[in-house]
Amino acid sequence: MTDFNLVEWRFERRLDPRPAARIVALAVAAAAAALVCSLLFIAAGASPRAAFAALLQGSFGSLRAAGETLVKATPLIFTGLAACVAFRARIWNIGAEGQVFAGAMFAYWLQHNLTGFPPFVQIPVVIAGGIVGGALYAGLAGVLKTRFSVDEVISTVMLNYIIVYVLSLLLLRGPWSEAGGFFEQTPKVDPDSALPLLFSGSRLHFGFLLAIVTAGLVQMLLTRTPLGYEIKAAGSNIRALEVQGTNTRRLILVVLLVSGALAGLAGITEVYGVHYRLKAGAITGYGYSGIIVAILGQLHPVGVVVASVLFGALLNGATLMQIKTSVPSALIYAIQAILLLFFLAGWAACNFRLRRVARA
Partner 1 sequence: MSKIPRLSVRHLTKRFAALVANDDISLDVMPGELHCLLGENGAGKSTLSSCLYGLYQPDAGEIRVDGKTVQLRSPGEAIRAGIGMVHQHFVLVPGFTVVENVAVGTGSGWRLGRAEALSRIEAICSTYGISLNPHQFVGDLSVGEQQWVEIVKALYTGARLLILDEPTAVLTPEESRRLFAIVRRLTGEDLSIVLISHKMAEVMQSDQVSVLRKGRLVGTVVTSQVSRDQLTTMMVGRSVAAPTRAGDAKAHGETVLSVRGLTQLRDRRPVLDNASLDIAAGEIVGIAGVSGNGQDELFECLAGLAHPDGGKILLDGETLQAYSPATIAAKGVGYVPSDRFRDGLVADLDIGENLVLGQQWQARWRKGPFIDAAALDANARTAISAYSIAATGPSAPSRKLSGGNAQKVILAREFAKATRLLLCNQPTRGLDIGAIEFVHRQLLRKRDEGCAILLASEELDDLFALSRRIGVMFRGRILAVLDTKKATYDEIGSLMAGHRSEAAA
- Least Å from the CB of residue 229 to partner 1: 5
Q: Are 283 and 266 in contact (CB under 8 A)?
A: yes
Q: If phi over 0 gives left and psi between -120 and 50 gives alpha, with beta otherwise, what is residue 17?
A: beta
- Least Å from the CB of residue 227 to partner 1: 9
- Least Å from the CB of residue 235 to partner 1: 7
> Quick one: which H or E segment has residue 57?
helix 48-60
Nearer Cβ to partner 1, position 240 or 302? 240
Q: If phi over 0 gives left and psi between -120 and 50 gives alpha, with beta otherwise, what is residue 231?
A: alpha
Nearer Cβ to partner 1, position 49 or 224? 224
- Least Å from the CB of residue 254 to partner 1: 12
Separation CA 85–CA 292 (nearest Å): 14
- Give me the amino acid identity at 7: V
Nearer Cβ to partner 1, position 8 or 113? 8
Rg for the chain, CA atoms, rounded = 23
Nearer Cβ to partner 1, position 178 or 242? 242
Separation CA 139–CA 187 (nearest Å): 29
- Least Å from the CB of residue 10 to partner 1: 6
Nearer Cβ to partner 1, position 1 or 15? 15
Q: Give the footprint of partner 1 on this chain (CB under 8 A).
A: 10, 12, 15-16, 220, 224-226, 228-230, 232-233, 235-237, 239-247, 357, 360
Produce one character per residue of 36-60: b if its CB has 16 or more CB atoms within 10 Å, e if not: ebbebbeeeebebeebbbbbeebbb
